[in-house]
Chain A
Amino acid sequence: MSDALAIRTSGLGKRYGSHWALRDCTLEIPSGSVTALVGPNGAGKTTLLHMVIGLVEPTTGDVEVFGRSPRRDAKAVLPRLGFVAQDHPLHRNLSIADTLTYGRKLNPSWNQQLAASRVERLGLSPKQKIGQLSGGQQAQVALTLALAKQPRLLLLDEPVASLDPLARREFLNAVMEAVVDDGITVVLSSHIVAELERVCDHLVTLANGATQLNAPISEIVASHRLLTGPRSDGASVARVHDVIRESHTERQTTLLVRANGHVYDSCWEQHEVDLEEIVLAYLGYQPGNGASAARAREAVRS
């Protein structure tokens, strides 16, 4: 029963001094999904992932991984998690072989064959020092370390942010391979939306320390529409659908809406909208007090 959910958080928050890095975060990530955790820099993505793996103690609320607390039950949770931290820290003066031994010594479920064959496929020699590898190669070694642990949940914190486009593609391919081969659950955070659609089937957006969107990507793309029509305040649309973003020119109004069912109003021209645009709209949207949404709702009431 607990295994149906890889991650469950409720009211999760972390405060550093007087600054809340993450606030009242409640979300569920189903087992077997590949989830993109998207938000601008400073949105609390790293803090959230660090609380999931138990590096950071929550200030408020709680977090469960496969039904267990990563802090209080670290011995049970840690072997089931693979983690690649931002900038994938590794010991630079160790060779690749030593790095793999490091993983083998610290993980009872270590798969040395998997690790060795991955290194070989990357075209790397076990004798090479980590410090001599390129950023992309280091990220791949860090991923190898996390995968050879044979985790059920893989957490990747901004795995591709520091990589060039080619290395980025190779890294994401490696993640996808692991998903296909072993059916592991993946959560990867990113401030870049491009390419995520290819890899992920689930999306969570995080902005200003809170979540806005948490749904399968197919559902998100299917339910959002871009409406264009003659200039108006969009109130009639807002009565039925959620207006995420509105913009006006002198003669025309454009609305990005999350449609509840079909939009029947014939004065609006409907367009498909891609994931990146939806995500960007959400990251500028604050539920309850977002300027456009609030105005739209007020218009409804009056």
Chain B
Amino acid sequence: MTWVGWRLQRTEAIVAVGILALLAAFLVPTGIQMANEYHRDGLAACLSIDTPTCGNAAGSFRQHFQSLLTLANWFTLVPGLIGVLLAAPFILDLERGTYTLAWTQSITRRRWLVGKVGTSVLTAIVIAGALTLLFTWWRSPSAHIDGRLETGNYDTTGTVLIGYTLFALALALALGAVWRRAAASLTVAFVGYFAARLFVDYSVRDHLVAPLKATYKGAQQPSFLDNAHIISIDATVNGHQVVNGGGFLFSGAKFAVPAMSKAVFNVVYQPQSHFWPLQLTETGLFVGVAAILMLFAAWWTTARTA
């Protein structure tokens, strides 16, 4: 079944590697450019000591590469694309009726399922792993300047990208098992992947690991908030709330800049040190849902088909 699994997935694997190569063709030159500027400006050495020159250098780096980094945030869709693509051989077998050919050879359908889905899962992990390495290298200057919790950096470095890919694959497998239409299943699974990602990014991620709370005084941001992901912040001056949830309140009309030094800030945040706990929890979440979807696809295919 190993040979059969690979042979029937060859086209999709080639397309996936092609997508990887296209990305590399874009990321390698721009990554070299970013790394050069980062080293030329001595940013690596000065980030730990906060000096005005250093701040300027970081600011100019951000300004220079902002549009590129914003554009690169869209690459968070690539794991979804790879995932649904690798589900195609399984769904095509159902759509074209060739699964009956496999089920009437000498192997059990359980073995066929394991071979078929196993091949897709392995390929997905390898491609997602390669993507992660590529992105981790490309984003290393940005990760040093803005921290790894910055959305673009968080989504593409670490382990979550493998979880996202497996989730997209499993969602397409589950839809395809029921629907048996490859094109439609892959399209809907891709849209579903995007929706699930948006939901987790905006509503779930902040709470995957219990955030920290802190109170500090004065306008100067303390160093523990460096590159932290701030979930909410509010500030009071003489008992009047001036900042709420990160935004300023002007209704009080008592607001004056010098008073900010007397302000008391309450902040809820994920510190830089929560990067790995967050990554592993979110990866676990996506892999867990993927496993459930795959088991459903397997059950539906063997119990409900024919």
Contact = CB atoms under 8 A, between A and B. Distances in A.
Given A56-B306, A105-B3, A85 B106 contact: no
5 contacts: A89-B96, A91-B8, A105-B4, A106-B105, A149-B105
Contact of A108 (B2, B100, B106): B106
B119 to A, nearest CB: 13
A74 interface: yes
Given A98-B7, A105-B3, A106-B4, A89 B106 contact: no
Interface of A: 50, 53-56, 74-75, 78-79, 81, 83, 85, 87, 89-94, 98, 101-103, 105-109, 145, 149
Interface string B1-45: 111100110010000000000000000000000000000000000
Given A55-B306, A56-B306, A85 B105 contact: no
Contacts, number: 61
Contacts of A74: 108-109
Interface residues of B, number: 21
Nearest to A142: B101
Interface string B96-139: 11101111111111000000000000000000000000000000
A85 B11 contact: no
Given A102-B4, A105-B1, A105-B4, A55 B105 contact: no
Interface of B: 1-4, 7-8, 11, 96-98, 100-109, 306
B104 A53 contact: yes
A81 B96 CA distance: 22
A89 B97 CA distance: 6
Nearest to B93: A91
Contact of A89 (B2, B3, B98): B98
Nearest to B5: A105
Nearest to B110: A74
A50 B104 CA distance: 10
Contacts of B97: 85, 87, 89
A149 B11 contact: no
B7 A106 contact: no
A149 B102 CA distance: 13
Contacts of A54: 103
Nearest to B2: A105
A78 B106 contact: yes
Contact of A85 (B2, B104, B109): B104
Contacts of A75: 108
Given A55-B100, A91-B98, A94-B7, A106 B306 contact: no
Nearest to A84: B104
A74 B101 CA distance: 15
A150 B101 CA distance: 16
A55 B96 CA distance: 16
A177 B11 CA distance: 38
Contact of A107 (B8, B105, B306): B105
Given A93-B11, A98-B7, A101-B3, A78 B100 contact: no
- Residue from the set B3, B4, B100, B106 with the largest chain A CB neighbour count within 10 Å: B106
A105 B108 CA distance: 13
- Residue from the set B97, B102, B104, B109 with the largest chain A CB neighbour count within 10 Å: B104
